[in-house]
Structure 1
């Protein structure tokens, strides 16, 4: 289904992890969190994920990655087969394997909002270049750097790529990628949020000045909340893991949340707990503790 409405996730004070309800769902980011720096899933983490599912705890991968980049974990989705991709812009069934995934929910960025965001950010940060992520396609401006290991489907100015009569206009836009060659990443994020306002949701997960722009109210947290509501799972029964600013809302929403040892300072401030770094299997460490306490 396609959801064009904004969903605002509630903010609240965290309970300490010890006071939280027993978990029914684990929500984990991938890059810098579940995955090691070489993009592998360690044997210890594979075993911990399987043990959680065996114990009746659902595991959701919640990532900024597009669906076509989910092959790194497609063997570990277990029963439900679902992942939240594009920072909440899509829920994807990965059961078909790489290249055969099915979109269960799409929360698109309206083209009018996208064009407004592009124009306002161009004015606020001259030199910004853009790429457009759609459900199946990837399009970019000619000046956009080679940041991704793929060949774009087309090259054109963002205004042309987002036009109502663009060649792929019938395909939903999931997010815009905005890159600046000179600005400091957090400063670029702050500037973009001020410039774009409520036209779109702006965040980042890259160590470079690369921003991710989604529909208003679309975030990892708000889409995870929708998935949990479908399952009758409350936020108090969710354990979440993350490392970058695009994880902050999800970590604030979850009943228990853990910043990785390698996390951004904003993530550490948002989480109710902390674990060791991704290269030390920080997610697995916590899952093992949770299962030992059951």
Structure 2
């Protein structure tokens, strides 16, 4: 078991906890443990806001919707949407990927990484190409080439694009990400959170960190008052922005390099372990 390294939460007041879900707050079976549920409730009783910050779209937030307690705001789709979980995942803010930029990325990856297949995540659901892997089939999805799904005249064109997904059947995940950033990084924000070669592509400047910073600024919360948790490359910017950041023991090497502290793995309730310490050390208001 890796050694826990207590950091700033023990010495100053924490006002907000930002936690990733998959591989971080959730166990591998996608459950939220009783210990974690209790820790989240204790944080909110101590006056600490809890934000779930995830690559998941709003429609996949049912895994935590029963555990949101008093606040219920989530940052979804890697920062593209702010969602109110108390109102059935109502999308409050959107930071879209412009269709022209998405089409440019599709063209670049078709050239530099032949065999790439795409899916388009809109505010009302996902649509994908015939070759795209059946990760989460949607019976009402439109199956068509990405160029059609992104065309201005398509029937879904009135819905903002939250992100473009790109999958490659042969490239190593980190190699695919590096190749894609070189080919198309000036047109969009590219990251990944899957163990497969699946990239998540958002609008330029859109990230978990950027949207979290915006939400915190609205509340008068400084980065130094935020503790963040994560495990994959799509968490790196958020973890670098937060005053204190924890990598899970199961984290990607890039996350381990970006964080100031460590906790145990997601299956050992690593987030709950740290939250318990924060609540116990929280100075009075």
**TM interval, short-chain normalised:** over 0.9
Cα deviations by residue, 1:69-97 (Å, 9 ceiling, x for unpaired): 0001001122222100000000001113x
Of 50, 71, 75, which aligns to 2:62? 71
Q: In structure 1, the residue corresponding to 2:165 is in which secondary structure?
A: strand
Map 1:254-273 to 2 at 5 A.
254-273=242-261
Deviation at 1:51, TM superposition (A): 0.1
Cα deviations by residue, 1:233-258 (Å, 9 ceiling, x for unpaired): 00000000000000000000000000
Map 1:114-193 to 2 at 5 A.
114-151=102-139, 153-193=141-181
Structure 2 CA distance, aligned partners of 1:21 and 1:127?
A: 50
Moved more, 148-157 or 207-216: 148-157
Of 192, 206, 219, which aligns to 2:194? 206
Deviation at 1:17, TM superposition (A): 3.0
Deviation at 1:21, TM superposition (A): 3.5
CA change 1:79–1:160 in 2 (3 A) is same
> What's the counterpart of residue 4 of structure 2?
none
Please say if residues 120 and 149 of structure 2, whose CA atoms lie closer than 8 Å, have aligned partners that are also in contact.
yes
Please say if residues 14 and 48 of structure 2, whose CA atoms lie closer than 8 Å, have aligned partners that are also in contact.
yes
CA change 1:85–1:204 in 2 (3 A) is same
Say whether 1:36 aligns with 2:27: yes
Please say if residues 9 and 278 of structure 2, whose CA atoms lie closer than 8 Å, have aligned partners that are also in contact.
no
> What's the counterpart of residue 45 of structure 2?
54
> What's the counterpart of residue 234 of structure 2?
246
> What's the counterpart of residue 4 of structure 1?
none
Of 79, 84, 87, which aligns to 1:88? 79
Deviation at 1:120, TM superposition (A): 0.7
Please say if residues 17 and 273 of structure 1, whose CA atoms lie closer than 8 Å, have aligned partners that are also in contact.
no
- When normalised by structure 2's length, the TM-score is 0.95
Deviation at 1:117, TM superposition (A): 0.7
Structure 2 CA distance, aligned partners of 1:20 and 1:200?
A: 38
Structure 2 CA distance, aligned partners of 1:71 and 1:91?
A: 15
Of 89, 92, 97, which aligns to 1:101? 89
Deviation at 1:152, TM superposition (A): 5.2
Kindly tell me the number of residue pairs found equivalent between the two proteins: 277
Structure 1 CA distance, aligned partners of 2:273 and 2:62?
A: 24
Deviation at 1:151, TM superposition (A): 3.2
Please say if residues 9 and 281 of structure 2, whose CA atoms lie closer than 8 Å, have aligned partners that are also in contact.
no
> What's the counterpart of residue 217 of structure 2?
229
CA change 1:155–1:268 in 2 (3 A) is same
Please say if residues 9 and 227 of structure 2, whose CA atoms lie closer than 8 Å, have aligned partners that are also in contact.
no
Q: Name structure 2 gaps, 5 residues minimum.
A: 1-6
CA change 1:70–1:145 in 2 (3 A) is same
RMSD across aligned positions (CA): 1.4
Deviation at 1:20, TM superposition (A): 6.3
Structure 2 CA distance, aligned partners of 1:136 and 1:61?
A: 20
Structure 2 CA distance, aligned partners of 1:283 and 1:70?
A: 18
